[in-house]
């Protein structure tokens, strides 16, 4: 029993010490991170912390809801949506219809879990979008993989995704969703407690793009805006090269294995919930 207590306490210490901010969408650059790529946009120095206001805010106060770009659902306006502080409407990338595009994510803290990428077809730059729009187009790679599992050690991660056939737009929004997998919860099928089960901390990012719109011009990178290198990251001026040299050039599988539970799962789940309520 002492060994199990040690494991559980270690888990809780990890949860308390690793509280903030763990990833950003760098290609195409998201609304909060495009300033790092030289675009003339308001800087968000916490662009790796678009986590729905925090676990407790998302799941206890907002019923699991999150702003489509990672803001607290209750915020009005939301910082990364129209009328928000970090929204500019600048189109950062322009693609051909059905093109295979590169996406890249920088994880500042790896919490396992998985990524998904969605596309909302839109032509009105200042329109407030709903999650239902993004859910119409869940992007996949050439193998049909739609959910990309994250293993420990991955930091700069790249995928090649195919844009939906026949979709054209002047102001589409690409959404990155990171559902982490390092917290204890209850498996809805087995009703057992395990790491990665139940509600998890989530991170988002939104990028403004155009597809098949020849008359749309992408935002110009201002020569007067310095390129900012995230702490511990490679030089952002080389992100285009990094797309071909990242930690992950091939996803693993779209089928996630069921997290493992242990004999101390119920106790750890209760303690984890208590810590969440205190600190998040």
User: Is residue 34 one of the residues assigned to a domain?
Assistant: yes
In this prediction, residue 221 carries a pLDDT of: 52
In the chain, how many domains are there?
Answer: 1
Q: Once rounded to an integer, what is the mean pLDDT over residues 99-121?
A: 97
Cβ density class 5-18: b for 16+ within 10 Å, e for less: eeebeebbeebeee
User: Is residue 272 one of the residues assigned to a domain?
Assistant: no
User: Is residue 279 one of the residues assigned to a domain?
Assistant: no
Encoded tokens for 63: 């019923």
Instruction: Name the strands in the sheet holding 156-162, side by side, starting at the edge strand that comes first in the sequence.
Output: 23-27, 100-107, 156-162
User: Is residue 202 one of the residues assigned to a domain?
Assistant: yes
User: How far apart, in Å, do the first and last CA atoms of the chain sit?
Assistant: 29
- What range does the domain containing 198 cover? 19-267
* CATH assignment at residue 78: 2.70.50.50
pLDDT band at 125; cut points 50, 70, 90: confident
Q: What percent of the chain has pLDDT over 90?
A: 63
User: Is residue 274 one of the residues assigned to a domain?
Assistant: no
pLDDT band at 217; cut points 50, 70, 90: confident
pTM over 0.85: no
User: Is residue 14 one of the residues assigned to a domain?
Assistant: no
**Is the confidence at residue 258, as pLDDT, over 60?**
no
Most confident of 96-105, 189-198, 208-217: 96-105
Maximum CA extent, the chain? 67
**Is the confidence at residue 168, as pLDDT, over 80?**
yes
DSSP label at 59?
A: I
Q: Please write the tens of the pLDDT for every residue from 222-254.
A: 444 444 444 444 444 555 555 544 444 433 334
User: Is residue 233 one of the residues assigned to a domain?
Assistant: yes
CB 182 within 8 A of CB 113: yes
CB 102 within 8 A of CB 243: yes
Q: Please write the tens of the pLDDT for every residue from 11-35.
A: 444 444 344 448 999 999 999 999 9
CA distances from 27 to 36, 104, 256 (A): 11, 5, 25
- Percent helix, strand, coil in the chain, to 5, is 20, 25, 60
The string of DSSP codes covering 96-121 is -TT-EEEEEEEESS----EEEEEEE-
Q: Which residue has the higher pLDDT, 265 or 100?
A: 100
Encoded tokens for 64: 């699991």
In this prediction, residue 267 carries a pLDDT of: 53
User: Is residue 11 one of the residues assigned to a domain?
Assistant: no
Beta bridge partner(s), residue 185: 194
């Amino acid at each position: 029993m002492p060994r199990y207590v040690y494991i559980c306490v270690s888990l809780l210490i990890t949860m308390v010490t690793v509280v903030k901010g763990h990833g950003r969408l760098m290609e195409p650059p998201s609304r909060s991170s495009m300033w790092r790529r030289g675009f003339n946009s308001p800087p968000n120095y916490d662009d790796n912390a678009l986590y729905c206001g925090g676990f407790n805010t998302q799941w206890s106060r907002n019923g699991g809801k999150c702003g489509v770009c990672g803001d607290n659902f209750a915020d009005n306006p939301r910082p990364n949506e129209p009328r928000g502080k970090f929204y500019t409407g600048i189109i950062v990338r322009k693609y051909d219809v059905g093109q295979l595009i590169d996406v890249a994510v920088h994880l500042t803290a790896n919490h396992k879990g998985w990524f998904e990428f969605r596309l909302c077809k839109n032509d009105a730059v200042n329109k407030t979008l709903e999650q239902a729009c993004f859910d119409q187009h869940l992007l996949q790679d050439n193998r049909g993989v739609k959910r990309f599992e994250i293993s420990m050690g991955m930091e700069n991660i790249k995928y090649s995704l195919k844009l939906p056939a026949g979709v054209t737009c002047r102001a589409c929004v690409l959404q990155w969703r990171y559902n982490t997998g390092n917290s204890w919860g209850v498996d809805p099928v087995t009703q057992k407690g395990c790491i990665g089960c139940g509600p998890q901390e989530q991170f988002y990012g939104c990028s403004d793009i155009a597809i098949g719109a020849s008359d749309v011009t992408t935002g110009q990178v201002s020569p007067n805006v310095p390129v900012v290198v995230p702490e511990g990251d490679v030089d952002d001026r080389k992100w285009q090269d990094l797309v071909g040299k990242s930690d992950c050039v091939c996803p693993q599988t779209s089928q996630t294995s069921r997290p493992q539970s242990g004999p101390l799962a119920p106790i750890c789940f209760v303690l984890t919930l208590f810590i969440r309520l205190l600190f998040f």
